[in-house]
Amino acid sequence: MIVQMFEIISEDADSSARVGKLYTEHGIVETPAFMPVATKGTVKTLTSTELHDMGTQAIITNAFHLHMRPGTDVIQEAGGLHKFMGWDKCIFTDSGGFQLIRKDFSLKSREKGLEIKSPVNGDTHLITPENCMKIQETLGSDVAMALDDCPEFGATRQKVEDSSRKTIDWAKMCKEAHDSEKQMLFGIIQGGVFYDLRKRSTESLTALDFDGYGIGGLSIGEPKEMMHGVLEYSVPLVPVEKPRYLMGVGSPADLLRSISFGIDIFDSAFPTRNARHKTAWTKKGSFSIDKLKFSKAFTPIEEDCKCYTCQHYTVAYIHHLFKESELLGMRLLSIHNLHLVQELMKNARKAIENNEFSEFRKMYAKDVW
């Protein structure tokens, strides 16, 4: 049984940034923390050992995808998701509400839940708050996310209000249905870019006393300043003693700014998706590694980087791999980009503890990110 769930260790003097510890069944997650996305039980192209070696403390998977294939029964027989994946640290499972805004998904929001057409066999499934909780409990993740309705950016106020209402109603049902003492349950705050709807959603969910709170429905196409404005307004509404999880944000500049608002946990496929699309990240910005000028760049991606890629390979070699469509190129660049983000989190924690966070943020100039 989890006794103490979240502890604030240190707070920055010049912002709302803080260092904390999230206590889970599979170890302590030091925050601020970044979770690579392992939608189908894998961070694309990478092994659990590689994730471990770069300092990853937690990952997030998608409960619906795993329920469809290989199936919760298979994962249960394997001894749970951790054993199935060969990952012994914290796992979050998302409920699937984000898929509403994915154009490649056949998913509809109903009053009782999300109606999803299986990408495996075409069958239609209704994911209700109750079976959403059952699926996540069976998977055995450390943190389950309540079922939510995520409206796309640009949706009418009426649609966002209706979405927020459903999310609140489903959150209550998830709270009642959740029956695992080993698994935490986080609610997800919605409300689009409407401040009053964000306030209503936050107040309704915090009244239910979840173990933590996801802030959803952002970084889905809205202008950056709009996202930052919503965050700056919304985060203080979440009780200070609860972990705050901003869903879907992954660029260095956005991570650091969000940390300054008081966000503790992040997830995003952005670093690995960029890597698979030939974009390398550095402290000074990003660059496309397949450009001709890098064909004879016999240096690491970043000179002072300690990642496996930079310790063993040059930009020229990785450039060659992409030109030849070799999968190793994607792997090596994914290792580097994720390592950079994990180092960013580790150094941000140190900076907050030393009251140097404002200076630390300046290392990642806004104009290059």
Catalytic residue list = 94, 267
Report the distance separating Cα 18 and Cα 13, nearest Å: 9
Q: Which two structure tokens, joined as six digits, stand for 189?
A: 């705050």
Length in residues, the chain: 369
Report the distance separating Cα 290 and Cα 312, nearest Å: 19
Angle, helices 252-261/327-353, rounded to nearest 10 degrees: 30
Within the chain, what is the greatest distance between any pair of CA atoms? 60
Report the distance separating Cα 95 and Cα 144, nearest Å: 8
- Is 80:100 a contact under the CB 8 Å cutoff? no
Report the distance separating Cα 136 and Cα 120, nearest Å: 19
- Is 32:21 a contact under the CB 8 Å cutoff? no
The residue to which tokens 């039980």 are assigned: 41
Bridge partners of residue 23, in order along the sequence: 28
The residue to which tokens 């471990």 are assigned: 52
- Is 192:151 a contact under the CB 8 Å cutoff? yes
Nearest 10 degrees: CA dihedral of 178, 70, 277, 216? -10
